[in-house]
Amino acid sequence: MRWPFLGLGAGFRDLLHLDDPPRRLAVALAVGVFISCTPFWGLQTVLAVVVAAVFRFNRAATVLGTWLNVPWLAPFVYGAAIKIGLLVVPGLREADASSFDLLLRDPSALSWATVWSWLRGSSLPLLVGSTIVGLVAAGATYLIALTALGRRRRRGPPRAGDASRRHVA
């Protein structure tokens, strides 16, 4: 399977050829996906390397997982995280969403006070929501990766001369 628009196809093909057991690779990839859903933009790759080193996960698989939340998917991930967080965190529903709605409706209302009000009101819902979204995404990633890696390992390495199974760089 090729995903040239994501630029991650080669990374996934390489993941299939790593020597770690499928469960460990699937966990490492899932942890990376969880980290990719956190609101710590700019630190996610560093955070993935540190977590992989501390818990002895495969670093390549963990970092690859963080790269799955590509910029054009991030608004959907964080939008869902804020919506879920506002539903879960009590007492922060209307008042906190209103300052963000104001910014969307009237960009000229942008001021440090408005931004600070929105950040103060949405930080906890974003953190809680991104944790929930991250757990769901990590769980799905684990199941998909474990299935794909298990199938690949059962098929064995590609045979010489078998063009349908040959690793194309």
pLDDT of 3 reads 44
Structural domains in the chain (count): 2
Q: Are residues 53 and 25 in the same domain?
A: yes
**Does residue 109 form part of some domain?**
yes
* Residue-level pLDDT, tens digit, the chain, 169 residues: 444 444 555 555 555 556 788 899 999 999 999 999 998 888 999 999 999 999 999 998 999 999 888 888 888 998 899 889 888 887 655 555 566 666 667 777 677 776 676 666 678 888 999 999 999 999 999 999 999 888 876 766 655 554 454 444 4
Structure tokens at 47: 């955070």
pLDDT of 131 reads 95
Q: Are residues 36 and 106 in the same domain?
A: no
Q: The domain containing residue 84 runs over which residues?
A: 74-125
* CB crowding 122-138: b at 16 or more within 10 Å, else e: beebbebbbbbbbeebb
Q: Are residues 63 and 92 in the same domain?
A: no
Q: Are residues 65 and 81 in the same domain?
A: no
Q: Are residues 44 and 82 in the same domain?
A: no
Q: Are residues 107 and 36 in the same domain?
A: no
pLDDT of 125 reads 84
**Does residue 78 form part of some domain?**
yes
Q: Are residues 36 and 56 in the same domain?
A: yes
pLDDT of 144 reads 93
Q: Are residues 42 and 83 in the same domain?
A: no
pLDDT of 158 reads 55
**Does residue 119 form part of some domain?**
yes
